[in-house]
Homo-oligomer: A and B are copies of this chain.
């Protein structure tokens, strides 16, 4: 009976079935005025019967807008980036935007990811966890990120090399987080705080380290060279072994929880009790943080708020409407658990 139709139904098909003009169908679908209630019903019924779905390609072609936001994220399952991605998607959908993702990593750099987003058509781009691409190229120090200046871009901290009239910056850089973690440890009475940093290429890692450094300076505490990890527990473990071997180390701030886990393990193996001998603070508040041995004191960010705030500004920029001022950093929250305590007397 029913032959497999090759082409999905168009608004013309709906119009024919409803016995009206194609334009009237368009009116109904877009909720424009000047349509009789009776006609509107008839059109909607026809659309439902045919399983009609608006062709976004045609719509986008005409409007020159895609109603899609593209996100460049880091190709990994790290807790922070993943959580932010989820929050961004929810927010985008809420604002009526479709959501496209391009990951970086494994040779596919930022420029590549942006290019693939632009190629598919997006109204704006979010750069989620920028790394410093410019130190990639040993020859000329790499090159700046070139994004079509006509496409609005959102990032959560200023990205050197990423510039333009339609670049909007807001959110949570991590400086505040680094500062809070360090102040917490200093406040407990530790003479200074050691830092296991994220990879230097990540701006987020630099920000957290900067917060740490600023807090030390403000308190007049001696600054130690940071140990650099790669966000992984393995790298935290390596750093932890170094720290465990140094009897003067009593307080450590790891730039994420995963590395903190590695530090905890190294400390345990070296027989250095946490928090009795050494205090440890992580960052992210991964679900497992509360169930480690000991439960980890850490810093938590409100990704929902960050996404909401950022996309609201981005949407305003897309519409070229005023759009409130970009707030500075959204605050991070310290979650105190059992891995921190005053230093042994």
Listed in ascending order, the chain A residues whose CB lies under 8 Å from chain B are: 7-8, 51, 53-61, 64, 66-68, 75-77, 79, 82-83, 85-86, 89-90, 93, 98-103, 106, 108, 116, 118-121, 148, 150, 232-234, 236-237, 258, 261-262, 264-265, 268, 287-288, 290-293
> In the complex, how many angstroms separate the beta carbon of A29 from the nearest chain B beta carbon?
12
A57 contacts across to B, CB distance below 8 A: 56-61, 66, 121
Q: How distant is the Cα of A103 from the Cα of B75 in the complex, in angstroms?
A: 17
A60: chain B residues at CB < 8 Å are 57
Q: How far is the CB of A22 from chain B (nearest CB, A)?
A: 16
Q: Does B234 lie within 8 Å of A262, measured CB to CB? A: no
Q: Which residues of B contact A98 (CB under 8 A)?
A: 100, 116, 119-120
- Residues from chain B with a CB closer than 8 A to the CB of A236 are 291
- A184 → chain B closest CB, angstroms: 23
| Chain B: CB-nearest residue to A237 | B291
Question: Which residues from B are CB-within-8-Å of A90?
Answer: 75, 103, 106, 108
Minimum CB–CB distance for A21 against chain B, Å: 21
Cross-chain pairs A/B with CB under 8 angstroms, 29 sampled: A51-B148, A53-B119, A55-B121, A57-B58, A57-B61, A58-B61, A75-B86, A76-B86, A77-B79, A82-B82, A85-B101, A90-B103, A90-B106, A98-B100, A98-B116, A98-B120, A99-B102, A100-B100, A100-B101, A232-B287, A233-B291, A258-B288, A261-B288, A261-B291, A261-B292, A262-B291, A264-B293, A288-B288, A293-B293
Listed residue (A54, A58, A291) with the most chain B CB atoms within 10 angstroms of its CB: A291
Known: A57-B61, A102-B93. A77 touches B86 (CB 8 A): yes
CB atoms of A101 and B102 under 8 A apart:
no
- Determine whether the beta carbon of B233 is less than 8 Å from that of A288: yes
Chain B residues with CB under 8 Å of A67's CB are: 120
DSSP class of A's interface residues: helix, strand, loop or mixed? helix
8 Å CB contact of A89 from B99, B102, B262: B102
Residues of B with C-beta under 8 A to A150? 8
Contact B103 A56 (CB under 8 A): no
Which B residues lie within 8 Å of A116 (CB)? 93, 98
10 more A-B contacts (CB under 8 A) besides A8-B150, A56-B119, A100-B101? Answer: A7-B64, A57-B66, A77-B77, A77-B79, A77-B83, A85-B101, A93-B116, A98-B116, A258-B287, A265-B292
Quick check: A120 and B232 within 8 Å, CB to CB? no
Inter-chain contacts of A102 with B (CB < 8 A): 89, 93, 99
Cα distance A279–B57 in the bound complex, in angstroms: 56
Query: A205 CB to closest chain B CB, in angstroms?
Result: 17
Which single residue of chain B is at the shortest CB-CB distance from A55? Answer: B61
Please give me the residue from chain B that is nearest to A146 by CB atom: B51
Q: How far is the CB of A73 from chain B (nearest CB, A)?
A: 9
- Cβ of B103 and Cβ of A89 under 8 Å apart? yes
Cross-interface CB contact of A120 among B8, B56, B258, B261, cutoff 8 Å: B56
Question: Which residues does chain B contribute within 8 Å of A258, judged by CB atoms?
Answer: 287-288
